[in-house]
């Protein structure tokens, strides 16, 4: 099957199967797909026509971009987001837009979890996680401001990768909090992730993926944001046991006290910035926002400059102290999410296990393969120092192999 055929089959597959899933909110027509495929192949990029879904919080010039809200229904940006341009140059073909929660915040999408019927797929990158989990496309793009890549990957049982802040380009992303908004990716396995992330970023992140010994893992059993749930403990124990069986070194670590301050600082940074990034929407179209977002923005407007400055200082101090966190270990393991995917579609779950890392700007890779207390998917997250995306992926590959 050549690239044109693969793209055509992907579109047919989406047409046939996505009605019940709700992962896509817009797809290319046949002519657009053919044109995009020709451009991708002409680029000579490593992805060679791979079909890609892009979260609808990122601008596309050929497809409407609605940011998950009726305020932007039918909105057609003039230019592609930089990540879309980078994907095309890497040989990828953007075949459609995947659902996002309203402005990538908490109000749920209509997307279903293909792995766990009746449970949320998570958010905000709901469609991107679900599309990969359902096998509709091999690669999707998401964004994370709190836990919007790693959490839905955990709930849907796929690999989610949030590289370091800014390592994948953010221009053309409708901002929520510009110090936090980070572009990430979803795939079915770590090998595909490493190859795709390398091709798009231009950085040698896949080098040595399967070579050599496993890195030294650290694991913590106590967290400053909340206690480990039964599912969190089960998943982490399973990962640690599997890694040790595979011959890897796993050290128990105590997380530094400042990590709790970083966690608290996340809300402050996000609130100050969101109340500016969405100021017009709040000022002029408040009644068309979800109550969740409206109430959040009403409260966020109260964050003072002094609180914001202190929170940014806390974040900067945390980044400067990361050597302490990684003392004696290469990679930190935590649950990807506090629990299994919650039942129902009223909530997208909690980002408590993600927020501090997003604010610290460090690479995070969510790896599926563990399960929680009731047997539903639980991801385990590998976290590395800044700039260590290749190490993060290599650690994730060892984790994936151990859990298999």
Q: Which of residues 227-246 bind its own copies (CB under 8 A)?
A: none
Of the candidates 89, 221, 285, 292, which one interacts with its own copies according to CB under 8 A?
Answer: 89
Cα gap 23→97, rounded to integer Å = 8
Binds its own copies (CB under 8 A): choice among 92, 114, 123, 172: 172
Tell which one of 82, 220, 246, 321 touches its own copies (CB under 8 A). Answer: 82
Under rule CB under 8 A, residue 75 binds its own copies: yes
CB 236 within 8 A of CB 380: yes
Contact flag: residue 80 with its own copies (CB under 8 A)? yes
Using the rule CB under 8 A, is 345 a contact of its own copies? no
- According to DSSP, the β-strands at 139-144 and 331-335 are unpaired
* Stretch of residues binding its own copies (CB under 8 A), selected from 9-17, 185-193, 277-285, 367-375: 277-285
Based on CB atoms, which residue is closest to its own copies, 13 or 285? 285
Token output for 366 = 């969510």
CA-nearest of 112, 106, 102, 153 to 22 is 112
Alpha carbon distance 330, 236 (integer Å)? 17
Alpha helices in 206-304 (DSSP H): 230-245, 258-277, 279-284, 291-300
Contact criterion met (CB below 8 Å) for 219 and 253: yes
**What are residue 55's DSSP bridge partners?**
98
CA 22/CA 271 separation, integer angstroms? 30
CB of 203 to its own copies, least distance (A): 5
Segment interacting with its own copies (CB under 8 A) among 18-26, 79-87, 123-131, 348-356: 79-87
To its own copies, the closest distance from the beta carbon of 34 in angstroms equals: 16
User: What separation in angstroms does the CA of 402 have from each of 280, 354, 367, 384?
Assistant: 49, 23, 11, 19
CB of 6 to its own copies, least distance (A): 22
Binding residues for its own copies (CB under 8 A): 39, 61, 72, 75, 77-80, 82, 85-86, 88-89, 166, 169-175, 178-179, 181, 202-204, 272-273, 275-277, 279-280, 283, 305-306, 308-309, 312, 316, 387
């Amino acid at each position: 099957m050549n690239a044109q055929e693969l793209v055509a089959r992907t579109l047919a597959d989406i047409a046939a199967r996505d009605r019940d899933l709700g992962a896509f909110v817009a797809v290319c027509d046949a002519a657009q797909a053919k044109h995009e495929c020709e451009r991708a192949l002409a680029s000579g990029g490593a992805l060679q026509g791979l079909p890609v879904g892009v979260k609808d919080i990122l601008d596309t010039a050929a497809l409407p971009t609605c940011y998950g809200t009726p305020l932007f229904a039918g909105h057609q940006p003039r230019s592609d987001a930089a990540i879309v341009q980078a994907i095309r140059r890497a040989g990828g073909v953007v075949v459609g837009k995947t659902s996002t929660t309203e402005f990538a915040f908490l109000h749920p999408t209509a997307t279903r979890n293909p792995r766990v019927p009746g449970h949320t797929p998570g958010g905000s990158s709901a469609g991107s996680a679900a599309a990969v989990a359902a096998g509709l496309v091999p690669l999707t793009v998401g964004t994370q401001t709190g836990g919007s890549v790693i959490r839905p990957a955990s709930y849907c049982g796929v690999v989610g990768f949030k590289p370091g802040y800014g390592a994948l380009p953010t221009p053309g992303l409708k901002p929520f909090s510009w110090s936090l908004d980070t572009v990430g990716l979803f795939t079915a396995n770590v090998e595909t992730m490493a190859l795709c992330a390398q091709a798009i970023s231009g950085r040698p992140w896949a080098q040595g993926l399967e070579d050599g010994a496993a890195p030294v893992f650290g694991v913590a059993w106590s967290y400053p944001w909340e206690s480990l749930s039964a599912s969190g403990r089960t998943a982490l124990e399973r990962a640690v046991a599997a890694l040790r069986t595979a011959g890897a070194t796993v050290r128990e670590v105590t997380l530094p006290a400042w990590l709790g301050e970083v966690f608290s600082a996340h809300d402050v940074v996000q609130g100050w910035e969101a109340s500016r990034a969405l100021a017009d929407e709040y000022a002029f179209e408040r009644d068309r926002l979800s109550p969740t977002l409206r109430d959040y923005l009403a409260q966020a407007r109260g964050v003072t400059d002094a609180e914001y400055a202190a929170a940014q200082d806390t974040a900067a101090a945390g980044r400067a102290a990361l050597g302490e966190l990684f003392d004696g270990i290469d990679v930190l393991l935590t649950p990807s999410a506090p629990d299994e995917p919650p039942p129902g579609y009223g909530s997208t779950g909690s980002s408590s296990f993600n927020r501090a890392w997003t604010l610290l700007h460090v690479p995070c890779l969510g790896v599926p393969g563990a399960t929680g207390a009731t047997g539903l998917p639980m991801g385990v997250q590998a976290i590395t120092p800044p700039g260590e995306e290749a190490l993060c992926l290599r650690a994730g590959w060892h984790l994936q192999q151990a859990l298999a």
